[in-house]
Structure 1
Amino acid sequence: MSGPDWFQVAETGPGAFVIGEPGHVNSYLLLGDERALLYDTGMGIADIGEQVRRLTGLPLLVVNSHHHFDHRGANASLAAHAEDIAVHADGAALHTDPAPHEWLEAYVHLAHGLRKRYEEFHALDAGGFFLTDSRVEVRPVPDLADWRIEAVRPTRLLHEGDVLGLGGRSLEVLHTPGHSPDGICLWEPETGLLLAGDTLISGTFFAHVPGADVAAFADSTRRLADLPVTTALLGHNLRHKESADFVGRVAEAFAAVRDGRTLPYASTDMFGAPVSRHDFDGFAVLTAPHGTDH
């Protein structure tokens, strides 16, 4: 649907690559001696499989961090080539629906608006601030008239504590509900690498969408903060990599939100839905508007 320029691909650690769709979502490829693992497949706007094949010819295991459309958008294009498409068992039934046309239309509108705002900001930035980085700029939006995200039945169900061996390296499955009930992170104890999906992001945490749970988010992020993390790879935003300090600050933030120790104010999310916004240093947590629950 779009050429390779849609992606921003970079090595982000030994045998680890970020395959970013800048401004939208980050997927990650890990290489072992015997197989490769692709953590999330992105929007399905362009061919992520082409990017994977440029980096490795190893047999491929696909793992979805959770069932949301922006993290399984290219599952259908990879189904014939992957050894398995693996999801947490709690999310198996949530993968049975394609993205509705209304959601796709709303996202196309959002993507065009995001690019427009980025261009305006970049023009101001070029006047002397130099905060942006052209290597990870928000891409122009291609023609998305034929964009579809199909339902793909998972071929492997994952559970807490499962170990995914790649040959010479292995990752442990951590069930981390909060953003969604089926959220999983992948943890490599030998290196301290954490693949975090939407459990950790460097922007606004969506704790207000259907299936989200602030208390579960607080428990999951505290659990991650207690690990000896060296590098956390995040699901969204241009800043894709963070340290243990960030993980700890996120856990403290969610505990504060859970315990009512913040001063939220009325706002909207990127789709225009009403939220309560809790601001912290470098990120924000969005919860259901005051007086409502999901």
Structure 2
Amino acid sequence: MTRPAWFSVRETAPGVHLVAEPGHVNSYLVLGDSFALLYDTGMGIGDIGREVRALTALPLLVVNSHHHYDHRGGNASLAGEAKEFAVHSAGAELHGSPAPREWLESYAHIARGLRERYEAFHALDSAGFFLTDSRVHVRPVPELAHWRIEAVRPTRLLREGDVIDLGGRQLHVLHTPGHSPDGICLWEPETGLLLAGDTLISGTFFAHVPGADVPAFADSTRRLAGLPVTTALLGHNLRHREDADFVSRVADAFERVRDGRTRPTRSADMFGTAVRRHDFDGFAVLTAPDDTPAARP
């Protein structure tokens, strides 16, 4: 049986391609008339540059939604190709260090466990439910002994209100702290397209990591809920695309968490760090217990 490619790539909106590492991170390639923009570069496990080159020969701009390793893992592999690496000004210094070996080894262990659990679930699903999608199934994990995520110095600092002109389409920069202080979304008013990074995800929101801020998360998601969103493209999980109703429900959820109007349970995140888990319809919010230090990024 042929080993599936690490990436799952397909057009998900007009001129926008999902470049997914299923079960891990979703990156997006937006095509204009003059430039292409890659929003996040993923884990750095596979060659994301090869996927981009197969889709376009346009000059490439890279924008990282925030500084966390899993969203800038492919930056170094694009250093000779991308015209610029753009990040929010609040994150410039946060891009200055490579991923520590401890983090890489921990994530590699988690990735293999995710694959094992997915295989068990998929076997049950194949017996008659057919809930999974073969295009986006969680991939077998390759050999990661030589996996590295290097630091790449940003060449452009973005701020709230900046406009990135790709030729024929313009993306507006929205500063959306909450998951991290340097989080940004890209908004296309003409189409209602929102590239959301980790400000919106269809699984567990990490509001407990260093730099996370629940009140800021509530403000940012409420702001997004006020936009006429037609398509929101999310940073993680197999369900990568949502609509305005989802954005509104996330904003409502974060306000409830902020205001103490939930009944959280004690749980743990994927790294085994203790959290408080606030469950909602189709997603959950993880916050740090009062007596527990914030978890790793």
TM-score range, shorter chain: over 0.9
For the pair 1:273 / 2:245, whether they are aligned, the reply is no
Amino acid at match of 1:118: Y
TM-score (norm 2): 0.97
TM-score (norm 1): 0.98
Mapping of residues 6-155 of structure 1, within 5 Å: 6-155=6-155
Instruction: Tell me if structure 1 keeps the 8 A contact 2:4–2:139.
Output: no
The Cα shift of 1:292 comes to 4.7
Instruction: Provide the residue aligned with 1:247 in structure 2.
Output: 247
CA distance in 1, matches of 2:4, 2:291: 45
Amino acid at match of 2:101: H
- Name structure 2 gaps, 5 residues minimum: none
Amino acid at match of 2:145: A
Instruction: Tell me if structure 1 keeps the 8 A contact 2:92–2:157.
Output: yes
Q: Secondary structure, in 3 states, of the residue corresponding to 1:186?
A: strand
The Cα shift of 1:289 comes to 1.2
Instruction: Provide the residue aligned with 1:234 in structure 2.
Output: 234
Q: Could you tell which deviates more after superposition, 242-251 or 126-135?
A: 126-135
Instruction: Provide the residue aligned with 1:288 in structure 2.
Output: 288
Deviations 1:170-198 (A, max 9, x none): 00000000000000000000000000000
CA distance in 2, matches of 1:216, 1:291: 21
Instruction: Tell me if structure 2 keeps the 8 A contact 1:33–1:167.
Output: yes
The Cα shift of 1:293 comes to 6.5
CA distance in 1, matches of 2:162, 2:63: 12
Q: Which runs of 4+ in 1 moved over 3 A?
A: 290-294
CA distance in 2, matches of 1:210, 1:155: 25
Q: Secondary structure, in 3 states, of the residue corresponding to 2:87?
A: strand
Instruction: Tell me if structure 2 keeps the 8 A contact 1:276–1:290.
Output: no
The Cα shift of 1:4 comes to 7.6
Q: Secondary structure, in 3 states, of the residue corresponding to 1:19?
A: strand
Deviations 1:91-137 (A, max 9, x none): 00000000000000000000000000000000111111111111100
CA distance in 2, matches of 1:292, 1:142: 34
Amino acid at match of 2:141: V
RMSD of equivalent CA atoms: 1.0
Instruction: Provide the residue aligned with 2:162 in structure 1.
Output: 162
- Name structure 1 gaps, 5 residues minimum: none
Instruction: Tell me if structure 1 keeps the 8 A contact 2:174–2:187.
Output: yes
The Cα shift of 1:290 comes to 3.5
Q: How many pairs does the alignment contain? A: 292
Amino acid at match of 2:107: Y
CA distance in 1, matches of 2:20, 2:147: 18
Q: Determine what percentage of the aligned residue pairs are the same residue.
A: 77
